Amino acid sequence: MIYDPKYDPDRTRRSTVTIGANPLQNPGKIIAVHISYESRAAERGRRPKVPSYFFKPASSVAASGDSVERPAGTELLAFEGEIALVIGTEARNVSQELAWGHVQAVTAANDWGLYDLRGADKGSNVRNKGRDGYTPLGPELIEAAGVDPESLRLRTWKNGNLVQEDTTAGMIFPFAQLIADLSQHLTLKPGDVILTGTPAGASVAAPGDTIEIEVDVPAKGLSSGRLVTTVTEGTGDFDPELGATPVVNDLQREEAWGSREAAGLPEQGTALTPELKAKLIETPVAGIAQELRKRGLNNVAIDGVRPTRPGTKLVGVAKTLRFVPNREDLFKTHGGGFNAQKQAFDSVAEDEVIVIEARGETGSGTLGDILALRAQARGAAGVVTDGGVRDYATVAEIDLPVFTVGAHPAVLGRKHVPWDTDLTIACGGATVQPGDIIVGDDDGVLVIPPQLAEEVVEAAQGKEAEDAWVADRVKEGAPIAEVFPMNKEWRAKYEAEQGGA
C-alpha cells in the first residue's frame, strides 16, 4: 500500500483542500459504506462480497458538542462510530495503488440512524440516516500524508464506557479499494466525505446518553480528538398524510442493538435441531397437544386452519407477519412497493414458517401462488394464516405446507394492510413469537415454546407408544374401562412387556 503523497507528480497541480479551511462544515457529498469490517460482518451474520454504499445529505452534518434528536415516540436511534475520509484532490477512475494519495485527511464520524424509519427507506437510508444532525464529524483532522491507512484505530464510548474498538487492519475492504471503486462511477471532489463503515459494537442510544468517538494513529500519537454528541428528545410530529411514519419490529431491534440478546429478544430458531425436527415430524400433533396441556398450556392451538393438502405435516420455526385492518390512507403508505408481506416472503429462511396474523378475516387472500413459490424457493418450512389464500388450487399443488382458513379471490387492499414483521402476533387465537416452534397436521396447528419442545416431543412419543399398545389390547377384546386409562394390572403388564423388550 503506497501512502506517501510524493509518489504522485500531478498532485500539486490539482485542487486541494487546506486543513485550516475546515472542509467538514459543508462537504459536497457524503458517501457512506454499509458493512466493511470483519467484526461487523460476523456480528450481522452476513459478509458482503463487494462494497455497497448510500448517500447522506450535507444538511445532516454536525460538529462535536452538538446534540442529536431522537423523535418522540421512537425507540431505535443507533450510533455507529466510523472513520471519515476527506477527499483532497479530484479522483476519477483512479487505481487502488494511487487512491490514498487523493485523501487529504481523516477524522471521526458518527453515522446516526433512526431504525424506526429504516423499513420505510427500503435501503435508501434517506429518512433514517439523513435527518438534521445525524452526521457529526470531527473535531480535528489528521493529515493523511505520511499515515499508513491500515494503522488507524477507531474507538467509541457510550456514557464513558468503551463499546467499540477496532483497527483498519480488520477491514474487509481497505480504504484504497473504496476510493478506487467509487471513482469508477462518480467523480470524488475536494471536500467530499466518505464514511467507511462501523465495526462491531454499534448500538442504541436514548435521550440523556452521550456518545464519544475518536480516531487515532497510536504509533504516531495523532488523534482526531473525541467527537462528542448528546442525545435529546425531539418532537414526533410525523404526518401520515405526507409519507411514512416510524414502525419498529424485532428484526429492526436486533439490527439496531447489534444482537437479539442485546435487544432483550429471545434466541431465534436455536431449539430446532435436525434431531428434534425428525422427532416432531414423526409425532402426531394431537399427542403433542396432550403433553402441552399437561404442562398447563391450553392456548397454543391456532384455531380454524387446515392444510391445503390433506396429509401434510408441518414443522418449523415461526417468522411472523402482521396485517392490520384496511384503512385507505394507510394502504397508500404501506400497501404498495416492497411492503411487509413481500419482505417476509423474500427473507424467509430455511426451516422457518411464515405465520400470518389476519385477525381471522376470511374476506381476502393473504398470499397467493407467487408468494408461495417464493417461500418454497427459499426453503421455507411452510405458511400458516388465519386469513384466506388466493390461487388456492395452484397453491395446493406447490410443494409447500400451507395451512389456512380457506380460499378467497380478493387481494390485500380489500381487507388488510401489510404492516410489520418479526414481532409477537396473534394467529387463530394463539400468541406466536418469532422463534416459536410450529407443528401442524390434519388435526391442526400448534405453537410450542422452544424451551419445552424437546421435553414435550419425548413425552408425546412415549405416550404414542403406550396408546398403540392399548389399541392392540382393545382389538384383542380388553375392556375400555380397564385399559383406557390402564388400571394397575394392565399397567404392570405394559411395563413388564416394555422391560422385556
186 known member of a binding site: no
Q: What pLDDT was estimated at residue 487? A: 85
Query: Given the DSSP bridges, would you call strands 77-79 and 135-143 parallel, antiparallel or unpaired?
Result: unpaired
The answer to whether 141 is annotated as binding is no
Residue 170 and residue 37 in contact, taking contact as beta carbons nearer than 8 Å: yes
Rounded to an integer, the average pLDDT of 328-334 is: 89
pLDDT above 70 for 156: yes
Q: Based on the number of CB atoms within 10 Å of its own CB, is 280 exposed (0-12), middle (13-18) or buried (19 or more)? A: buried
Confidence of residue 248 (pLDDT cuts 50, 70, 90): confident
User: Nearest-5° angle of CA 240, CA 77, CA 33?
Assistant: 100
In this prediction, residue 11 has a pLDDT band, given cuts at 50, 70 and 90, of: very low
Torsion-angle region of 74 (φ positive above 0: left; ψ -120 to 50: alpha; else: beta): beta
Query: Is the pTM above the cut of 0.75?
Result: no
Comparing 90-104, 169-183, 285-299, 452-466, the range with the smallest average pLDDT is: 452-466
Domain 289-451 is found in CATH 3.50.30.40 = yes
Q: Are 187 and 147 in contact (CB under 8 A)?
A: no
Instruction: For domain 5-257, say whether CATH 3.30.390.50 is its number.
Output: no
- Of the chain, the percentage scoring pLDDT greater than 90 comes to 71
The answer to whether the annotation marks 369 as part of a ligand binding site is: yes
One-letter identity of residue 256: A
Q: Is 358 exposed, middle or buried (0-12, 13-18, 19+ CB in 10 A)?
A: buried
Q: Please give the Cα distance from 456 to 463 (Å, whole number).
A: 10
Amino acid 344 reads A
Domain ranges of the chain: 5-257, 289-451, 455-500
Q: Are 122 and 50 in contact (CB under 8 A)?
A: no
10: confidence class by pLDDT, cuts 50, 70, 90: very low
66 labelled ligand-binding: no
pLDDT of the residue at 490: 82
Record the cell numbers describing residue 457, joined without a space. 416431543
- Whether the pLDDT of residue 279 is over 60: the answer is yes
Check whether 491 is labelled as a binding-site residue.
no
Set of cell numbers at residue 26: 459543508
CA distance linking residue 205 with residue 228, whole number of Å: 13
Task: State the Cα torsion 396-397-402-407 to the nearest 10°.
Answer: -20
| Element housing 356 (H / E) | strand 352-357
Ligand-binding site membership of 390 (annotated):
yes
pLDDT of residue 500: 53
pLDDT at 22: 64
Cα separation, 85 vs 135, in Å, equals 13
CB 357 within 8 A of CB 427: yes
User: What CA–CA distance (Å, rounded) separates 55 from 235?
Assistant: 25
The pLDDT value recorded for residue 267 is: 64
Model confidence at 8: pLDDT above 60: no
Per-residue confidence band for 237, with pLDDT thresholds at 50, 70 and 90: confident
DSSP string, 66-94: -EEEEETT---EEE-EEEEEEE-S-BSS-
C-alpha span between 327 and 324 (Å, rounded):
9
Residue type, 215: V
When the pLDDT of each residue in the chain is averaged and rounded to a whole number, the result is 90
| 104-118, 225-239, 270-284, 442-456: the lowest-pLDDT one | 270-284
Tens of pLDDT along 380-424?
999 999 999 999 999 999 999 999 999 999 988 889 999 999 999
